[in-house]
């Protein structure tokens, strides 16, 4: 038996506290591709917790593109983009994204978390404060902390609260919001926030991880939904691990911003570039998103959302004000959320309970996510199962 180091008392105390509060997290292992009918811990389930909103993670065209690109350019990036890790597939993907979204430049990052850390830590600082939505993703909060910037958080989705904070600041800085909020599924008031940023001469940044591919004309996300362009939204973050079905992230911006980030965004400068094979697969995904097939998948997803919300109206549940693929059902306390999740699993439905600190205390929920890859029968199973366990509760 391998020797086990003695764990410090503070660590054991923290773990026991998590257990007592029903907040202990554990990894689950999928034994299948990322598909609606997934094998999890050797059992088969209809899964409703993946961010694969368009059902592209196991698409044959992406698998083929990954294979073909790896055959030509290999698997590893080999070094950072600035040394010798920027390969032709990276440049092709950056150019295609810039053209699609209407920006001068796109820069690739290995993850969405890294993109937010890199961009915010470079653009904000001790003399350039950050103001952001109360419910922004952890990576946006951490980016401001890494920048050592003064940070204030306005009430969720509240434009008046944001303006109050902007008006009080003696320095201009960075106004940041998610496009679609990952735990609530609602959409930020981007047009109004953009107007505020322009009025107060602040930089405006949006992380549209959960909107790109799913929302707006041609799948261009919240940018399109709010009628914005590169001038009114100068810094747009997108990720590939959701609707694109791959991995990695990007920032879309101007030449000047991109040049500045290339000099000062440390996670970009000092990290090995994403796999060129993944860049090739992501380009194939973008082509699907832009095509008639992509529109068909968005339409199917919209139909699933409408059906789900209609079915839930007759149940004793609190739905969030979401018209996106993220459809949370508030449970309140963590114990109840875990119990309902376990009952759903006994009926063949996998939906993870989301608990603090990911959500506020008292805000534990089932974060149900819908995909274009779900069948009508899958939605019926989900709604019938929820009806069974929620009424039984």
Please tell me whether 210 is known to bind a ligand: yes
3-state SS of 173-185 is: CEEEEECECCCCC
Q: Omega of the bond prior to 298 within 30 degrees of 0, cis?
A: no
Instruction: Write out the two tokens for 228.
Output: 């914005």
Please tell me whether 137 is known to bind a ligand: yes
- The values of phi and psi at residue 59, to 5°, are -70, 135
CA atoms of 332 and 316, how far apart (whole Å): 13
Please tell me whether 245 is known to bind a ligand: no
Please tell me whether 371 is known to bind a ligand: no
Please tell me whether 172 is known to bind a ligand: no
Does the annotation count 335 as an active-site position?
A: no
Residue among 139, 182, 275, 385 flagged as catalytic: 182
Please tell me whether 112 is known to bind a ligand: yes
- The values of phi and psi at residue 191, to 5°, are -65, -45
Question: Could you give the count of Cα atoms lying within 13 Å of 133 in the half-sphere of its Cβ?
Answer: 27
Residue among 210, 285, 371, 385 flagged as catalytic: 210
Does the annotation count 285 as an active-site position?
A: no
Residue among 59, 81, 90, 242 flagged as catalytic: 242
Please tell me whether 246 is known to bind a ligand: no
Q: Are 58 and 33 in contact (CB under 8 A)?
A: yes
Does the annotation count 7 as an active-site position?
A: no
Alpha helices in 266-375 (DSSP H): 266-269, 276-290, 292-312, 334-346
CA atoms of 20 and 42, how far apart (whole Å): 28
Instruction: Write out the two tokens for 369.
Output: 């996510």
Q: Which residue numbers are catalytic?
A: 182, 210, 242
Binding positions are 25, 112-113, 137, 182, 210, 239, 358
Binding residue ranges for pyridoxal 5'-phosphate: 112-113, 182, 210, 239
Enumerate the known binding-site residues for substrate.
25, 137, 358
């Amino acid at each position: 038996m391998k020797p086990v180091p003695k764990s410090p008392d503070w660590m054991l105390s923290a773990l026991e506290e998590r257990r007592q509060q029903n907040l202990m997290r554990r990894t689950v292992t999928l034994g299948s591709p990322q598909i609606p009918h997934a094998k999890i811990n050797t059992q088969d389930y209809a899964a409703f917790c993946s961010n694969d909103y368009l059902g592209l993670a196991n698409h044959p065209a992406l698998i083929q593109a990954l294979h073909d690109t790896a055959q030509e350019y290999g698997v590893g990036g080999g070094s950072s983009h600035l040394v010798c890790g920027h390969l032709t597939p990276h440049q092709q993907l950056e150019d295609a994204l810039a053209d699609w979204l209407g920006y001068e430049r796109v820069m690739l990052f290995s993850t969405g978390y890294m993109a937010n850390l890199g961009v915010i830590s470079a653009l904000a600082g001790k003399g350039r404060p950050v103001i952001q939505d109360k419910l922004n993703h952890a990576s946006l909060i951490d980016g401001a902390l890494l920048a050592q910037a003064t940070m204030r958080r306005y009430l969720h989705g509240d434009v008046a609260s944001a303006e109050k904070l902007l008006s009080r600041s003696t320095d201009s800085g960075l106004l940041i919001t998610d496009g679609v909020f990952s735990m609530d599924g609602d959409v930020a008031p981007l047009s109004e926030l953009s107007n505020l940023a322009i009025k107060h001469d602040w930089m405006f940044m949006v992380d549209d991880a959960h909107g790109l591919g799913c929302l707006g004309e041609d799948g261009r996300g919240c940018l399109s939904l709010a009628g914005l362009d590169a001038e009114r939204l100068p810094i747009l973050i997108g990720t590939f691990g959701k609707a694109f079905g791959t991995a990695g992230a990007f920032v879309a911006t101007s030449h000047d911003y991109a040049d500045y980030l290339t000099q000062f965004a440390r996670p970009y400068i000092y990290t090995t570039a994403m796999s060129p094979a993944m860049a090739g697969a992501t380009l194939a995904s973008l082509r699907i998103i832009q095509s008639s097939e992509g529109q068909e998948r968005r339409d199917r997803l919209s139909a699933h959302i409408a059906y789900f919300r209609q079915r839930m109206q007759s149940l004793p549940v609190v739905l969030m004000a979401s018209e996106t693929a993220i459809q949370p059902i508030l449970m309140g306390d963590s114990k109840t959320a875990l119990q309902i999740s376990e009952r759903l699993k006994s009926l063949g439905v996998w939906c993870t309970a989301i608990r603090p600190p990911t959500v506020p205390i008292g805000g534990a929920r089932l974060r149900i996510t819908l995909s274009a890859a779900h069948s009508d029968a899958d939605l019926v199973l989900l709604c019938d199962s929820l009806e069974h366990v929620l009424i039984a509760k």
